[in-house]
Amino acid sequence: METGNAPPKKRVGLILSGGAARGFAHIGLLRVLERAGITVDVIAGTSMGAILGAFYASGHTADDIYRIAKSVTWRDLIDLSLHNGLLKGLKLHAFLASHLPETFGELQTPLVVATTDLESGEEVFIFEGDLITAVRASSCFPGAFEPVTFNGRTLADGGIVNNLPINAVSFLHANFTIAGDATVPRRATLSNPSDEGRWWERMMATFRLERRNPMAQTLLRATDIMGSILTELQYTMHPADLRVQYPMPHLNIESFWALDEIVAIGEWSALQVFVRAGLLPEEALGEVAPPPAVKAFSESTHPPHQGEAAEPTHPALPKALKAKPRAPFKTRG
C-alpha cells in the first residue's frame, strides 16, 4: 500500500527530434535505452522522430527498426506529382502502413506526433485517430512533400515550429524526460556523399535545388540555422532531464547513405549521457568504440554538440526500474 511519503512513480517520456537522415541516430539511443532496461511510458516525435517513435511505440525493438531501415531503398519511396513537382507521399504512406497499426489506440506505448498547421502557424499535437496519416503529415518536409489534410487542417512537418517537442509529453503526465536531438547544428560541414547517396541530390534537383546553385544552398543552410536557433529557444522553455545530442556536423538531412555511421554515433552519444547520469555502469563505455568521425570531432570547434547530459532536474531513475517485454507488431502482408 502506498503511503503519503512515497516518491512519485517515474513516468518516462521519450522525445525524438526531426532531422531526416540524421534522425537515424535515434536508433542508437533506443539501443541504449534497452540496454539500460528503461521502460518508456510516453513517446513524442517530429518528422523522422515521429516515424521512428511510431515504430518503437508499436512494439518494434531498436534492432528491428535498424533492419527495416537497412532494407529500405529510400529512392523507392519517391513519387513525384506531375501537378506541382512535389512528392505526393503515397509511397511513404504505403510503407508506413505495412509496418505500423492503423490507429494510435493500437500502439503499445502512447505516442504524440508533432505537426504544423500551415494556415495558422500553430503546432498541432496528434495522439489519437489515424496513425499513418499523422506520421506522414509530421514528415512532410516543406518544399519537398505535399502537405497533408487531416481533420480539416493543412498540416506539414512538425519541425517548422517545434523540432524537439518536449512539451508534447507533459500533458500525458511524463515526469522524467529523455530527448534525442538530431537537429542540424548552427556550425556544420557540408557532407560529400558517396555515389550511393547522390540519388537524393538528383531528386532535390527536380525542385530546382541544384547543389551547384549558390542561392539554393544558402536557402537550405539558412533553414538549418533557423531550425537550430528555434530548437534552442524551445529547449530553454521546455528542457529535458536528459538530452542526447549527436556530434555529426559532417552529416546533414540528406545523408541517408550513412545509416550505419549515424546509428553508431547515436549509440555512442547516448552511452556517454546514460553513464554520466548513473543509468549505466562506466564499464558500458568500453562496449562501443567511438565512431571515427566522433574520435576526430574537435571539442573546441563544436562545443554545443558533445552528447552531454543536461543537468537533471529529477533524481536518476531507480535501478529497479526494468523494461517490460515488448511484443512485436505483426506486419501486414
DSSP designation for 163 = S
How far is it between the farthest Cα atoms of the chain? 67
CA neighbor of 118 nearest in space, from 78, 160, 72: 160
Return the amino acid letter for 307.
G
Cβ atoms 88, 79 nearer than 8 A? yes
What one-character-per-residue DSSP string does 207-253 give? TT--TT-HHHHHHHHHHHHHHHHHHHHHHHHS--SEEEE---TT--T
Cβ atoms 114, 137 nearer than 8 A? no
3-state helix, strand, coil in the chain (%, to 5): 40, 15, 45
Residue 137: alpha-carbon gap to chain centroid: 15
CA neighbor of 27 nearest in space, from 252, 193, 330, 268: 268
| 3-state DSSP assignment of residue 116 | strand
Give dist(CA 112, CA 90) in Å, integer: 22
CB-count burial class (<10 Å; 0-12, 13-18, 19+) for 315 = exposed
Angstrom distances, CA of residue 69 to CA of 96, 103, 224, 256, 304: 12, 22, 24, 10, 28
Instruction: Give the number of other CB atoms < 10 A from CB of residue 226.
Output: 12
Catalytic center residues: 47, 157
What is the grid cell recorded at 181? Answer: 536531438
